C-alpha cells in the first residue's frame, strides 16, 4: 500500500473511468502475461482510477509499476481502495 500511494503522490492524478469503458474492459479477455514494454508506457508513476461500478463497491484503485527483484522484471500492482473499514479486525 505504501508503494502504491508513494508512486501516486508524484503526480496526484485521479482518472475517472467512464462506466461503459469499464464494463467493456471487464469483458475483455487478457493474456496471463502482458508485455513489459506496454507497462512502461503508463502516463505517470502511479495512477488512481475511480468511477468504476464494482460489486462490492470500492472507492477506486491505485495502479503502479514496480520492479520485482526476485523475478527481475517489472510488475503491475493494483491496490484496491475500499475506504474505511466499518469494524476493526481482531486477531
Dump pLDDT digits (tens) for 6-61. 888 888 889 998 888 888 877 888 788 777 677 678 788 888 988 877 778 888 89
Whole-model pTM: value is 0.70
Report yes or no: 62 and 47 within 8 Å, Cβ to Cβ: yes
DSSP string, 4-73: HHHHHHTT--EEEPPHHHHHHHHTS---SS--HHHHTT-SSSEEEEE----SS--SEEEEEEEEETTTTE
Between CA 2 and CA 6 the distance in angstroms is 6
Amino acid at each position: 500500500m505504501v508503494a502504491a500511494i508513494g508512486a501516486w503522490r508524484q503526480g496526484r492524478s485521479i482518472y475517472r473511468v467512464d462506466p461503459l469503458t469499464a464494463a467493456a474492459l471487464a469483458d475483455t479477455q487478457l493474456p496471463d502475461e502482458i508485455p513489459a514494454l506496454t507497462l512502461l508506457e503508463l502516463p505517470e508513476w502511479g495512477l488512481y482510477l475511480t468511477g468504476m461500478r464494482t460489486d462490492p463497491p470500492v472507492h477506486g484503485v491505485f495502479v503502479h509499476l514496480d520492479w520485482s527483484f526476485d523475478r527481475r522484471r517489472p510488475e503491475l500492482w493494483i491496490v484496491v481502495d475500499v475506504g474505511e473499514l466499518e469494524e476493526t479486525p481482531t486477531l
